[in-house]
Amino acid sequence: MTKLFPLKGQIQNYAWGGYQFIPELLGKAVTNTKCAEYWLGAHDKAPSSIITLNGEVPLNSFLNNNLETSIGHKVYEKFGRLPYLFKVLDVHDMLSIQVHPTKSEAEKGFKKENDLGIPLTASHRNYKDDNHKPEIMVALSEFWLLHGFLPETELKKILNQNPEFKDLIPVFEKGGYYGLYKTVMEESQEKTNATLKPLVDRILPLYKEGKLAKASPDYWAAKAVDASEDPSNLDKGIYSIYFFNIVKAEKGEAIFQDAGIPHAYLEGQNMELMANSDNVLRGGLTPKHVDVPELLKHVAFEATKPNIMKGELQSDGLERIYKSPAPDFELSQIKLSEANTYKSISKTAEILIVINGSVVFTQGESQVDCKKGDTVIVLANSPYTITSSAPESILYKASAP
């Protein structure tokens, strides 16, 4: 039985995406349509298409017809489905600040909203499914993001440096991270405007003159206002830009984001691998629904020390695995020259995308030639090899540990 198939993902045209990166990766014409994400997986919202001898079939349907043998007995027993969703992201404008729930909280929230009869497509719905959404990303370019609360001393320094935040110092000293965040998220829009307008008036001219560095929260706060459709109503997410770590990941570096860690992607391109979920609780920098009481239940109100991972190079010298505590997925990078052959046995259904170069996949008597932007899926328990037909080829692989 053939266990190696070409795979075609689905592009998501969100407003924060760029125009060029994803179309150019996929060898498509660049248009005036924003291309934010390229989904590779079996999520019911946007399943990939698996290309069989009988034509294209939605991956979720294909796997459901052969589930246990396709994803492997252990993964089937543990998850009952393909446990991950693989994406290419092109972040041109800032994403919303967001937090993901734990597995148990997702199950409770999903059931509660179902029992209330809230449609899955409702704009005020918080839980789109019953799963958690830990995620790991590897930068494909210089990549900027917000990631968790600053250490206490650094956050106090920020509050002291900005006269607009002086009134928040006693709030933080008395109520800690929770008290601080709750105060700004629950304040009226009028209060937010009054507090932040002097800050914006100070930093926006500097941003427009190119005088702010990306390592400064002033840069991202000004960019958020500059991109806003209604700059007179200032987004509460601007506070978070000053409260959270601003992280820069270089190409090939990774960062993991577990349940409860508030975060936001700011700029750049990455590979993202997550549990098979679309659950997002938003905290600002978005016109979408922000449910503050629900958000406050799930945020980890503690200092976060960002852990930038470079991955662990394997004994073959070709594969670099980015380890994380998530049981749902494992992300790795494979670099090949024409002199190398990568050999593996798939533990579960594995999805591999070629980011650079060109390669040949071989599994049994099946062979698939892939160029930049092409993707394959290898079903569970299948020995396969990859050879490069270019001086250097780079691939990313999604699997389960």
pLDDT given at position 130:
87
Asked if residue 38 lies in contact with residue 373, where contact means CB atoms within 8 angstroms, the answer is: no
How confident is the model at residue 353, as a pLDDT?
98
Q: Is the pLDDT of residue 125 over 80?
A: yes
pLDDT at 286: 87
- pLDDT at position 107: 92
Split at pLDDT 50, 70, 90, the class of 324 is very high
CA distances for 108 relative to 39, 81, 85, angstroms:
27, 20, 22
Mark whether 282 is an active-site residue: yes
Neighbours of 46 (CB within 10 A): 19
* pLDDT at res. 128: 86
Rounded to 5°, the CA angle 79-375-49 comes to 65
pLDDT value, residue 288: 84
Distance from first CA to last CA of the chain, Å, rounded? 24
pTM: 0.94
Computed on alpha carbons and rounded to an integer, the radius of gyration of the chain in Å comes to 22
Portion of the chain with pLDDT greater than 90, in percent? 88
How many Cα neighbours within 13 Å face the side chain of 367?
A: 5
Is CATH 2.60.120.10 what the domain over 312-399 is classified as, yes or no?
Answer: yes
Average confidence (pLDDT) over 27-45: 96
Tens-digit pLDDT profile for residues 13-29: 999 999 999 999 999 99
Share above pLDDT 70 across residues of the chain, in percent, rounded to a whole number? 100
Given phi > 0 = left and psi -120 to 50 = alpha, else beta, which region is 55?
A: left
Across residues 380-385, what is the average pLDDT?
97
Helix axes 217-227, 189-208, angle to 10 degrees: 100
Catalytic residue among 125, 202, 282, 320: 282
Segment 161-183 mean pLDDT? 98
Average pLDDT of the chain, as a whole number? 95
- Which pLDDT does position 352 carry in this prediction? 98
Q: How confident is the model at residue 276 (pLDDT cuts 50, 70, 90)?
A: confident
When pLDDT is cut at 50, 70 and 90, the band that residue 132 belongs to is confident
Angle formed at CA 258 by CA 287 and CA 216, multiple of 5 degrees: 60
**Contact criterion met (CB below 8 Å) for 287 and 229:** yes
Q: What is the pLDDT of residues 305-318, one digit of tens each?
A: 999 999 999 999 99
Under the banding of pLDDT at 50, 70 and 90, the label for residue 400 is very high
| Among the listed residues 186, 188, 178, the one whose alpha carbon sits nearest the alpha carbon of residue 155 | 178
Give 159's pLDDT tier (boundaries 50, 70, 90): very high
Q: What is the mean pLDDT of residues 41-50?
A: 94
Q: What is the pLDDT of residues 78-119, one digit of tens each?
A: 999 999 999 999 999 999 999 999 889 889 999 999 999 999
Domain ranges of the chain: 147-247, 312-399
pLDDT digits (tens, 9 = 90+) for 217-256: 999 999 999 999 888 899 999 999 999 999 999 999 999 9
Task: Round to whole Å and give the CA distance between 399 and 82.
Answer: 9
Average pLDDT of the segment spanning 346-372: 97
